[in-house]
Structure 1
Amino acid sequence: MGFPGTWMTESESMVYRVVPKCACSTIGQIMYYSDHGRFYDGDIHDAEQGLHKWGIESSQPAIEANVRAHRSFAFTCVRNPYTRILSSFFDKICGIQRNGKRYRGNLVPMVIQKYGIEVGDPENGFEFDQIKSFRRFLLFARDTIRFRKPMDPDIHWSSMSGHISTFIVNGGRYDHIFFTEKFNEGMQVVLDNVETPHKVDLSKVPRFNESEGHGPKRAHPVEDYFDDLSMHLVYEIYKSDFDLFRYDFEDPANKMPIGEIDLDEVHAKLGE
């Protein structure tokens, strides 16, 4: 199976396991800058050179050799499951993608038809009942993850534990896992542990939010989207994410972690 979702600098200074909706655009750009002294012009997910990616066949031998020998500092980044699934809804279900179309072709029409959600459109200023539609989307996300129906789960709402585990199961080991909510603090730990061709000053790095501005703005506080049933569904889908990465299931309003991540526990539980 190898190391899907894994990126590595060309200088092999660091290895990163991408977790969608967890600052991956910014992290990729920092990696690119640390090698080349400039940011990639465009969405880093589109870059086919300047960064090793598992999705690029010619990069696979270099990534595999590095990760199996643990030659470089390896890390990933996580995010509160409540804000992550909300972000996935607004970006992938409601938003217009950078190609000017809806995400994954017939995905959105299918969810509208089968689950009765609304997504709004740019012409009407994305006016729709966000809370009602999000809760119906949550049922759809649960069905894809638990029952693989009406489709397999999408990478943007499948669990962080699932993404992170493939790296461990196939022979990798993380040196650091940090929180999107404490981004600069966590990314600085990475930079302090690696030698890069170009020095990165995190205070001067812009946030590369490639999904911003293509869909509706969130109209309510996070907690308003989650009633008792929604919280139950979120816990059913993301129990291991809450437990392993120390997020507060009881309070959707609290996006901050409530403890530190135990790397040994992560490797033990996700390496089974």
Structure 2
Amino acid sequence: MGFPGTWMTESESVVYRVVPKCACSSIGQILYYSDHGRFFDGDIHDSTEGLHKWAQEHSQPLIEANARAHKSYAFTCVRNPYTRILSSFFDKICGIQRNGKRYRGKLVPMLVQKYGIEVGDPETGFEFDQIASFRRFLLFARDTIRWRKPMEPDIHWSAMSGHISTFIANGGHYDHIFFTEKFDEGMQVVLDHIETPVKVDLKQVPRFNESEGHGPKRAQPVEAYFDDLSMHLVREIYKRDFELFKYDFDNPGNKMPLAEVDLDEVHAKLGN
């Protein structure tokens, strides 16, 4: 299986396990800058040079050798499961993607037909009942994760612990896991532990939110989208994420973690 979703700087200063919807565009750009002194022109997910990625065949032996021997500092980043699934809905289901089309072609029409989801239209300012549609999407996300129907779960809403576990299961070890909600603080810890060809000043780094502006804005506070049934579904899908990454299940309105991540616990529980 190797190390899917793993990126590494060309200088091998640091190894990063990507978790979708957890500041991965910003992190990728910072890693790119730390080697080259400039940001990648475009979405960092589209880069095919300047950064080693498991998806690039020539990078695989280098990433594998580094991760297995724990030659470099390795890290990842997590996010509150409530805000992450909401963000996936607004970006991937309601939003128009970089190529000007809907995400995954036939996915949205199928959701409209089978789950009664509305996604709005850019021509009419994306007006639709966001709360009702999101809750129906949550049913769909649960179906994909629980029964792999009507399709396999998508990386943007499958559990963070699933992404993070593949790195450990194949012989990798994390030195740090930080929170999207405390991004500068967490990323600074990484930078303080590594030697990069180019020094990075986080205060000067722009925010790379590649999903922004392509879809509707969230019209309500986070907690408005989650009633008792929605919270039950979220617990069913993300129970392990809440426990391992210390987020507050009982209060969807509290996006901040309740404690720091216990790395020993993560390696023990995700390593088998």
Cα distance in structure 1, aligned partners of 2:114 and 2:164: 31
- The corresponding residue for 2:231 is 231
- The corresponding residue for 2:62 is 62
For 1:206-253, what per-residue CA distance to the aligned partner results, in whole angstroms no more than 9, with x for missing partners?
A: 110000000000000000000000000000000000000000000000
Question: 1:108 deviation in Å?
Answer: 0.7
Given the two structures, how large is their TM-score scaled by the length of structure 1?
1.00
Question: 1:149 deviation in Å?
Answer: 0.3
Cα distance in structure 1, aligned partners of 2:248 and 2:103: 30
Cα distance in structure 1, aligned partners of 2:207 and 2:227: 31
Cα distance in structure 1, aligned partners of 2:104 and 2:34: 32
Question: 1:195 deviation in Å?
Answer: 0.2
- The corresponding residue for 1:93 is 93
- The corresponding residue for 2:113 is 113
Question: 1:110 deviation in Å?
Answer: 0.7
Question: 1:260 deviation in Å?
Answer: 1.0
Question: Unmatched 5+ residue regions in structure 2?
Answer: none
Cα distance in structure 1, aligned partners of 2:25 and 2:99: 17
For 1:96-146, what per-residue CA distance to the aligned partner results, in whole angstroms no more than 9, with x for missing partners?
A: 000000000001111111100000010110000000000000000000000
Cα distance in structure 2, aligned partners of 1:249 and 1:203: 32
- The corresponding residue for 1:20 is 20
- The corresponding residue for 2:264 is 264
3-state SS of 1:131 partner: helix
Instruction: Say whether residues 1:131 and 2:131 are aligned partners.
Output: yes
Cα distance in structure 2, aligned partners of 1:256 and 1:16: 22
Cα distance in structure 1, aligned partners of 2:78 and 2:269: 16
Cα distance in structure 2, aligned partners of 1:142 and 1:17: 24
- The corresponding residue for 1:144 is 144
Cα distance in structure 1, aligned partners of 2:59 and 2:111: 36
- The corresponding residue for 1:218 is 218
Q: Read off the aligned partner of 1:252 and give its amino acid letter.
A: P
Cα distance in structure 2, aligned partners of 1:43 and 1:99: 12
Q: What's the % identity of the aligned pairs?
A: 84
Cα distance in structure 2, aligned partners of 1:42 and 1:164: 26
- The corresponding residue for 2:31 is 31
Cα distance in structure 2, aligned partners of 1:17 and 1:263: 15
Aligned ranges 1:46-57 → 2 under 5 Å: 46-57=46-57
Cα distance in structure 2, aligned partners of 1:204 and 1:131: 36
Task: Give the length in aligned residue pairs.
Answer: 272
Question: 1:55 deviation in Å?
Answer: 0.2
Q: Read off the aligned partner of 2:160 and give its amino acid letter.
A: M
Question: Unmatched 5+ residue regions in structure 1?
Answer: none
- The corresponding residue for 2:169 is 169
Given the two structures, how large is their TM-score scaled by the length of structure 2?
1.00
Cα distance in structure 1, aligned partners of 2:222 and 2:81: 11
- Runs of 4+ in structure 1 deviating by more than 3 angstroms, as ranges, are none
Cα distance in structure 1, aligned partners of 2:146 and 2:161: 14
Root mean square deviation of aligned Cα: 0.3
Cα distance in structure 2, aligned partners of 1:206 and 1:158: 28
Cα distance in structure 2, aligned partners of 1:260 and 1:210: 28
- The corresponding residue for 2:196 is 196
Instruction: Say whether residues 1:43 and 2:7 are aligned partners.
Output: no
Cα distance in structure 2, aligned partners of 1:31 and 1:225: 35
Question: 1:92 deviation in Å?
Answer: 0.2
- The corresponding residue for 2:11 is 11
Cα distance in structure 2, aligned partners of 1:111 and 1:19: 24
Cα distance in structure 2, aligned partners of 1:193 and 1:93: 38
